[in-house]
């Protein structure tokens, strides 16, 4: 069975600082990996996804993530945090056909001015 672990339920950074949100996965087959963002009282928006092409994936709003098979990790980064990045972020893994998306518990990102 596939699973996702997000390290840190809350992360706080200063505006302009590096954002690093950690995600480790477990999968018996080559995974598809995703990062989603959820703003308060809204649905989920896809930030980026890995589907076995380039290991460094670039997404919207300058976010990117690197797939590291040896570490079973897919950490999300952004060079410079903006106030508008404050939200909850979810890492997710799916079967190679894209079915049965499994989510991590989420990380709430706080951006301090």
Partner 1 sequence: NAGVTQTPKFQVLKTGQSMTLQCAQDMNHEYMSWYRQDPGMGLRLIHYSVGAGITDQGEVPNGYNVSRSTTEDFPLRLLSAAPSQTSVYFCASRGIDYTFGSGTRLTVV
Alpha-carbon distance values, 25 to 5, 51, 60, 83 (Å): 6, 14, 22, 28
To partner 1, the closest distance from the beta carbon of 101 in angstroms equals 6
* DSSP letters spanning 48-74: EEE-SS-SEEE-GGG-EEEEETTTTEE
Contact between 46 and partner 1 per CB under 8 A? yes
Which of 21, 74, 90, 93 binds partner 1 (CB under 8 A)? It is 90
Choose which of 22, 72, 86, 106 interacts with partner 1 (CB under 8 A). 106
Residue 102 interacts with partner 1 (CB under 8 A)? yes
Quote the CA–CA distance of 87 and 45 in Å, as a whole number. 11
Mark the segment that binds partner 1 (CB under 8 A) among 16-24, 66-74, 78-86, 99-107: 99-107
Residue from the set 35, 104, 109, 111 that interacts with partner 1 by CB under 8 A: 104
In the complex, the residues that contact partner 1 under the rule CB under 8 A are 4, 6, 9, 42-44, 46, 49, 90, 98-106
């Amino acid at each position: 069975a596939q699973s996702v672990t997000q390290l840190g339920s809350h992360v706080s950074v200063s505006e302009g600082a590096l954002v690093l949100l950690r995600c480790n996965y477990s999968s018996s087959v080559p995974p598809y990996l995703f990062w989603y963002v959820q703003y308060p009282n809204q649905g989920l928006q896809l930030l980026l996804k890995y589907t076995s092409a380039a290991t460094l994936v670039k997404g919207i709003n300058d976010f990117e993530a690197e797939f590291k098979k040896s570490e079973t990790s897919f950490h999300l980064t952004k060079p410079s945090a903006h106030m508008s990045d404050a939200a909850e972020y979810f890492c997710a893994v799916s079967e190679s056909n894209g079915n049965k998306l499994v989510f991590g518990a989420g990380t709430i990102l706080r951006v301090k001015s």
